[in-house]
Amino acid sequence: MTSSSFSAWLRAQPSLAGVAPALDTASLPDEPHVLFEHWLRGAAGAGAAEPHVATLSTVDADGLPDARALILKDVGPRGWAVAGPRSSAKAEQLAARPVAALSFWWQPIVRAVRLRGGMQPATAAEIAADFEARPESARAGRTPEDWMLWWLDPTHVEFWQGSPDRRHMRIMYERQGETWHREVRGGESAATPARAESRR
């Protein structure tokens, strides 16, 4: 591989410059959305810029990945909610292949979350409520009929906490039927045994 001045510049940029909070793996919640809310609130409290912004990745008609940044609308036992115009490329892609991935990065606390699964349209009432909750400036020039809300129902959620010594911690939730299988890898100790937890 040939080197370049730009490559050298990239390598010189700081990484993992934040400060990771203490992480007690012995008291992890049974369901990933509970841990996600805790981490998101922690990121906001630590000053992460726009911590509710996520990268949504979909698949286009040619089977190629497509990604864009958008705002998380809700999270709970049902999944993670995102929205956008029905006339958008992401809506077209989700109609053809209703699967997606979401990823979050919070630099001040050196934490990231990524999840993937199926995408389900929200109810008409939920879509209308989300549209009405948008700022007036965001509703201007767009009709409610062109607005859409989806729920990403994940089958896999991974929580990642970085460490300057590269002994990164991963907390992985894998859904198996109606239960969540959880595993912790990395950090100061070896991987902990996986365990099954209630999903709902």
State the average pLDDT over residues 45-60. 97
**pLDDT digit string, tens, across residues 13-26:** 999 989 999 999 99
User: Domain spans of the chain?
Assistant: 24-198
State the average pLDDT over residues 178-183. 94
Question: Alpha-carbon distance 15 to 86, whole Å?
Answer: 37
Cα 114 from chain centroid (whole Å): 5
pLDDT band at 42 (very low <50, low <70, confident <90, very high): very high
pLDDT band at 191 (very low <50, low <70, confident <90, very high): very low
Task: Determine which of 2-11, 46-55, 167-176 has the lowest per-residue pLDDT on average.
Answer: 2-11
Q: Is 89 exposed, middle or buried (0-12, 13-18, 19+ CB in 10 A)?
A: middle
**pLDDT digit string, tens, across residues 118-131:** 999 999 999 999 99
- Exposure letters 105-138 (e unless 16+ CB within 10 A, then b): bbbbbbbbbbbbbbbebbeeebbeebbeeeeeee
Mean pLDDT, all residues of the chain: 91
HSE-up of 30 (CA within 13 Å, CB side)?
8
Q: Does domain 24-198 have CATH number 1.10.1840.10?
A: no
